[in-house]
């Protein structure tokens, strides 16, 4: 009887661990964390989000200039909304590889 109880308990604990591991949603898996090469080789755009489209994010910098950067499914991006302060790592052709929310800026 004890062995049977231990097996059941072990199965329950294993199932709980699997559920917790699978609990990440798509936005958690895409959380923005630029690589070292992105930080070194890409330009960055910092400012307030003006507009969000299916394939772009528009960012207004401190000088008041808006810059539209391209995004796709491979862009690592925090959950952002219009009005959020962000920092985008952008290639020369305008593609944002990473967009992260900036807190307290």
Instruction: Count how many domains the chain has.
Output: 1
Q: Token pair for residue 94?
A: 């305008």
Q: Token pair for residue 13?
A: 């604990």
Q: Are 49 and 82 in contact (CB under 8 A)?
A: yes
- Residue 24 is assigned to a structural domain of this protein: no
Residues in CB range of 33: below 8 A, 6 or more apart: 76, 98, 100
Whether 2 shows a pLDDT value over 70: the answer reads yes
- Residue 57 is assigned to a structural domain of this protein: yes
- Residue 10 is assigned to a structural domain of this protein: no
Q: Which of 9, 7, 96 is nearest to 47 (CA)?
A: 96
pLDDT in tens, 16-64: 666 655 545 554 555 666 666 666 666 889 999 999 999 999 999 989 9
- Residue 41 is assigned to a structural domain of this protein: yes
CATH number for the domain that contains residue 36: 2.40.50.320
Q: Can you tell me whether residue 7 is helix, strand or coil?
A: helix
Domain region containing 36: 31-101
pLDDT in the model for residue 25: 53
Residue 70: in which H helix or E strand, if any? strand 66-70
- Residue 9 is assigned to a structural domain of this protein: no
């Amino acid at each position: 009887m004890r062995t049977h109880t231990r097996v059941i308990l072990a199965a329950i604990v294993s199932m709980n661990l699997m559920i917790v591991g699978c609990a990440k949603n798509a936005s958690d898996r895409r959380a923005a964390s630029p690589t070292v090469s992105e930080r070194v080789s890409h330009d960055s755009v910092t400012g307030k989000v003006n507009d969000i489209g299916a394939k772009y994010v528009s960012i207004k910098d401190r000088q008041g200039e808006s810059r539209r950067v391209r995004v796709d499914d491979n862009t690592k991006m925090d959950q952002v909304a219009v009005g959020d302060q962000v920092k985008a790592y952008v290639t020369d052709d305008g593609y944002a590889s990473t967009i992260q929310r900036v807190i307290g800026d």
